Chains A and B, each alone.
Chain A
Amino acid sequence: MRCLTLACVICAIGMPASADLEALRDDHILPRYAAFAEATDHLRAAATGDCMPGSVLPAYHDAYDTWVRIDHVRFGPVETQDAALSIAFWPDPKDRVGKAMARLTSARDEAVTDAAAFSQVSVAAQGFTALERLLTEPQPDPDYACSFTRAIARHLAQTASDVSKEWRDEYGAVLVSAGAAGNTVFPGAEDAERAAYTSISTALEFLHDQRLGRPLGTFDRPRPNRAEARRSERSARHVLLNLSSLKAMTNAFADVPLERINKAFDAAIERAEVLDDPAFAGVSDPAKRLKIEVLQRAVRDLQVVMAEDVGRALGISAGFNSLDGD
């Protein structure tokens, strides 16, 4: 056995130019954060008027929709500001949301009347997951629940506005100038492509393992109470919004043949559309469960095609070490 010559090991690492970062920014990311900022501002206005659940719920649903349409983008201001968890705290196996809310409510903590103070409370109490409980569960202290509702709506509007503004004013330029001298966030063009692709592949994994996998549990032990946003019956809606958003992002950014991936997206979307099981309560019913399992398999197929058609074309493979398990 002889040493390999070094030349055959160290090959050039140039990458095919097959990603459109400007389209990703202008056609996908900026408009979606803008919609999120606008909808949460409406939510804030609605809660400031009449804070009763019946009046706030429509704006809650609209605003939550706009978040789920962009929650797959985990790089940028949401990451640097640690914002994602404060916007929606899920999964939550330790019931941090319930505990944080109980702590504030039982103490009638005045943080809910002051935006600066509220930004310092547990992130589990700051976002949609806490707001959902205020709007769907009986509140023993309606006055406090009203202030709490307003505090969350205000916090969401502020966070959305901050994130949207930073993308518009600064981070968007950083993304499209990936690889330029002085760009420390994305020193190479491929670093931005990787961040974008990783967002998509991570979101698909989250969709498969958490959004679908958590309520499914096992056949012998289904876990309907683990479905995301089940109290406001949004679980299936999140899956659908997530799928269509990831399809849109893939089409905006990847300049590679997309026939197969779009077909895989459509197959999953079709299965999500026909579920008719908004909170995934059906995981405990064998017939309904099967439909959710079929959807989960369609997401798995999608993950495979994404890796083969998009990841490979961009020169990106799943992490060697991330997949190792040793």
Chain B
Amino acid sequence: MPSRRKVISGALAAATLSGPLWADVGNPTHLSAARTPEGAYILCGLRADGSLAFSVPLPDRGHAAAAHPSLSQAVAFARRPGVFAVVLDCATGISQHRIQAPAGRHFYGHGAFSRDGKTLFTTENDIDTGAGRIGVWDAADGYRRIADLSSNGIGPHEIIRLPNSDILAIANGGIRTHPASGRDKLNVDTMQPNLTLMDAEGRVRDTAVLPAELHQNSLRHIAAFPDGRVACAFQWQGDPFAAPSIAGVYAPEDGLQLAPMSDQTLRGLDGYAGSVAVLGTEHMAVTFPRGGLMQRINVKTDETLDLWRGDVCGVAPARWGGLATDGLGGVQRVEAHGFTKVAQYNLAFDNHLVAVGASS
């Protein structure tokens, strides 16, 4: 017979995992953090037609969100070097939990759920040593911290889960920062970024790096193809006029390969990619907010479509192709022929747009 204590914690867990579903909050298809004209920060749910399904306040500037695979629950992460993440019930706007980084740690702004939605993984900096860490939280038990893994590098930024598996992919950007010196980069001459694949227990399955002469190409953002390849977006830390390609693909058999990008294109981008998404089975979309450009790349043929939109950054898959947001408040569909603007808000959408319920 179960003890009283077990029954109670079981009931609490059930309560947490039986909240409203995404359909109950106006059927958002995407989430994005944003800033209002008054300077307040919010998390928005967007529908397929660009309309706003909900908006809930955040305590400070957000960066990315992780959508729970089934419940209408999202974890909104503070921007680096923030120490909070907020678990929001998107139906009521009520913050259900506030996740606090442990002492001596800060978040990098991204996180990912396990396939069953019971575990949350967060990218973190161990401030004293600069080591990249992955925090593990029990979502079914009030987001209790249950483990702490090495990220296998410095400066882990985006973390994702590969489709139909519990393998995590981590973009270790390679750049050491310390909150005492703000966002200053402390090791640009020696940085060693990598893409790490690991299981939920922290066992490294693969580590992929670029050739040594490209060690200043900081891998920040990643997205998974259905077959387990990983689309990669980089931020070049050397002379922006000497930047190599800042988009690439990881495949288990080929490692990390940069996609061809012309010098002409690269010169306008300041060596900076802001976000990446996989659209369908063979296309990736990479945004370059400093160049006002999004490229849709067919990774099979290297065919590239240039889509121009000032400060475009957030991009995510959608049923018809994709959806992109920008810092000027625009929401546009990404279609085979280009952008179709579907909405304009008096908001500045933050870096990342996250598809809801798209993972499997």
Q: Which residues of A contact B289 (CB under 8 A)?
A: 319, 321-322, 324
Q: Are B241 and A123 in contact (CB under 8 A)?
A: no
Q: Are B345 and A10 in contact (CB under 8 A)?
A: yes
Q: Quick one: which of A86-127 are within 8 Å of B by CB?
A: 91-94, 96, 123
**Residue A11 is within 8 A (CB to CB) of chain B in the complex:** yes
Q: Contact string, A177-205, partner B, CB cutoff 8 A, digits 1/0?
A: 00000000001000000100010000000
**Residue B126 is within 8 A (CB to CB) of chain A in the complex:** no
**Residue B358 is within 8 A (CB to CB) of chain A in the complex:** no
Q: Which residues of B contact A2 (CB under 8 A)?
A: 93
Q: Which residues of A contact B93 (CB under 8 A)?
A: 1-4
Q: Are A320 and B290 in contact (CB under 8 A)?
A: no
Q: Are B220 and A321 in contact (CB under 8 A)?
A: no
Q: Are A194 and B310 in contact (CB under 8 A)?
A: yes
A12 to B37, CA, bound (A): 11
Q: Which residues of B contact A1 (CB under 8 A)?
A: 56-57, 93-95
Given A4-B56, A194-B310, A326-B351, are A320 and B327 also a contact pair (CB < 8 Å)?
A: yes
Q: Contact string, B317-335, partner A, CB cutoff 8 A, digits 1/0?
A: 0000000001111000000
A107 to B328, CA, bound (A): 50
- Chain B interface category by residue count: 35 or more
**Residue B203 is within 8 A (CB to CB) of chain A in the complex:** no
Given A1-B57, A3-B54, A9-B55, are A320 and B241 also a contact pair (CB < 8 Å)?
A: no
Q: Contact string, B284-310, partner A, CB cutoff 8 A, digits 1/0?
A: 000001101000000000000000001
Q: Are B327 and A13 in contact (CB under 8 A)?
A: no
The contact of B52 among A6, A198, A324, by CB within 8 Å, is A6
Q: Quick one: which of B27-65 are within 8 Å of A by CB?
A: 35-37, 42, 44, 52, 54-57, 63
**Residue B344 is within 8 A (CB to CB) of chain A in the complex:** yes
The contact of A9 among B95, B241, B264, B346, by CB within 8 Å, is B346
Q: Which residues of A contact B94 (CB under 8 A)?
A: 1
Q: Which residues of B contact A92 (CB under 8 A)?
A: 241
**Residue B133 is within 8 A (CB to CB) of chain A in the complex:** no
Q: Are B311 and A321 in contact (CB under 8 A)?
A: yes
- The secondary structure that dominates the A interface is loop
Determine the residue in chain A with the shortest Cβ distance to B238. Answer: A93
A244 to B341, CA, bound (A): 37
A94 to B238, CA, bound (A): 12
Q: Quick one: which of B42-92 are within 8 Å of A by CB?
A: 42, 44, 52, 54-57, 63, 79-80, 92
Determine the residue in chain B with the shortest Cβ distance to A9. Answer: B55
Determine the residue in chain A with the shortest Cβ distance to B108. Answer: A326
A324 to B79, CA, bound (A): 10
Determine the residue in chain A with the shortest Cβ distance to B242. Answer: A93
A194 to B308, CA, bound (A): 13
CB distance from B271 to the nearest CB of A (A): 11
**Residue A140 is within 8 A (CB to CB) of chain B in the complex:** no
Q: How many residues of A contact B (CB 8 A)?
A: 30
The contact of A319 among B54, B56, B239, B290, by CB within 8 Å, is B290
Q: Which residues of A contact B310 (CB under 8 A)?
A: 194, 198, 319
A39 to B151, CA, bound (A): 59
Q: Quick one: which of A45-94 are within 8 Å of B by CB?
A: 82, 85, 91-94
**Residue A325 is within 8 A (CB to CB) of chain B in the complex:** yes
Determine the residue in chain A with the shortest Cβ distance to B235. Answer: A325
CB distance from B228 to the nearest CB of A (A): 26
CB distance from B153 to the nearest CB of A (A): 17
Q: Contact string, A8-37, partner B, CB cutoff 8 A, digits 1/0?
A: 111111000000000000000000000000
Q: Contact string, A299-326, partner B, CB cutoff 8 A, digits 1/0?
A: 0000000000000000000011110111
Q: Quick one: which of B90-124 are within 8 Å of A by CB?
A: 92-95, 109
The contact of A85 among B35, B55, B267, B344, by CB within 8 Å, is B267
**Residue B347 is within 8 A (CB to CB) of chain A in the complex:** yes
**Residue B274 is within 8 A (CB to CB) of chain A in the complex:** yes
**Residue B348 is within 8 A (CB to CB) of chain A in the complex:** yes
A321 to B275, CA, bound (A): 10
A3 to B239, CA, bound (A): 45
Q: Are B42 and A82 in contact (CB under 8 A)?
A: no
CB distance from B258 to the nearest CB of A (A): 16
8 A–B contacts, CB within 8 A, in A order:
A1-B94, A13-B329, A91-B239, A210-B241, A322-B290, A322-B327, A324-B313, A326-B220
Chain B residues at the A interface, C-beta cutoff of 8 Å: 35-37, 42, 44, 52, 54-57, 63, 79-80, 92-95, 109, 157, 183, 220, 239, 241-242, 263-264, 267, 272, 274, 289-290, 292, 310-313, 326-329, 341, 344-351
Top 10 nearest A-B pairs (CB, nearest first) are: A320-B327, A319-B311, A321-B313, A3-B93, A321-B289, A320-B348, A11-B346, A91-B241, A93-B242, A321-B327
A4-B55, A92-B241 given; name 20 further pairs at CB < 8 Å.
Answer: A1-B56, A2-B93, A9-B36, A9-B44, A9-B345, A10-B346, A94-B242, A187-B341, A319-B290, A319-B310, A320-B311, A320-B327, A320-B328, A320-B349, A321-B311, A321-B312, A321-B313, A321-B327, A326-B220, A326-B351
